[in-house]
Amino acid sequence: MNTLNTTQAAYLAGLIDGDGSIIAQLVSRKDYILKFQIRVSVLLVQKKERIHFLKQFQKEIGTGTVRDRGDGIAEFAVIGGNTVYPFLKQIQPFLRVKRKQANLVIQILEQLPLTKNSPEKFLDLCKLSDQVSHLNDRKHRTMTSETVQALFQDLGLIKK
């Protein structure tokens, strides 16, 4: 992860506000103690013909992957807290349209270490992840904090 100067950070904030996504998804992980992972990511897309711009951003940011999705669209993705956190911290001051999503993801990542032995705390962060999805207009996802809550209750991890 590179350190971005102000101009780079402001530009990338604008780009993500315009066409990017700041995401927190709940992913089923049978081998995890709490059975779920909160997967955070920052995505940027371009038409396949303009994939070289995504490679330029990847080089500049110093992390992330670029792939041809196969549907005419290429995608640049920064996935996972280790890279999403330092990236978002750098662009957050310049974000406007998606600043709320960034703040929520930063909050999730800062509090995630506290959830190791606390299903209740983990569930709180799942609710923050619901908020991120709501801000992203994704109102019909299958996995929400309610899915996690129901499973935690079934497993006796939290009270009904």
| Binding flag, residue 122, a copy of itself (CB under 8 A) | no
Give the nearer residue to a copy of itself in terms of CB position, either 13 or 106: 13
Cβ distance to a copy of itself smaller for residue 47 or 67 = 47
Give yes or no for residue 134 binding a copy of itself (CB under 8 A): no
Establish if 92 lies at the interface with a copy of itself (CB under 8 A): no
Residues 157/118, Cβ–Cβ less than 8 Å: no
Q: How far apart are CA 7 and CA 91, in angstroms?
A: 10
- The amino acid at residue 71 is D
Q: What angle do CA 55, 79, 107 make, to 5 degrees?
A: 130
**DSSP state, 3?**
P
Residues 6 or more apart whose CB falls under 8 angstroms from that of 150 comprise none
Nearer to a copy of itself, 71 or 137 (CB): 137
Q: Which of residues 18-57 bind a copy of itself (CB under 8 A)?
A: 18-20, 44, 46-47, 50, 53, 56
Least Cβ distance, residue 58 to a copy of itself (angstroms): 13
Residue type, 98: K
Q: Quick one: which of 1, 10, 51, 158 contacts a copy of itself (CB under 8 A)?
A: 10
Q: Kindly state whether residue 97 participates in binding a copy of itself, applying the rule CB under 8 A.
A: yes
Residue where the block lists tokens 């983990």: 122
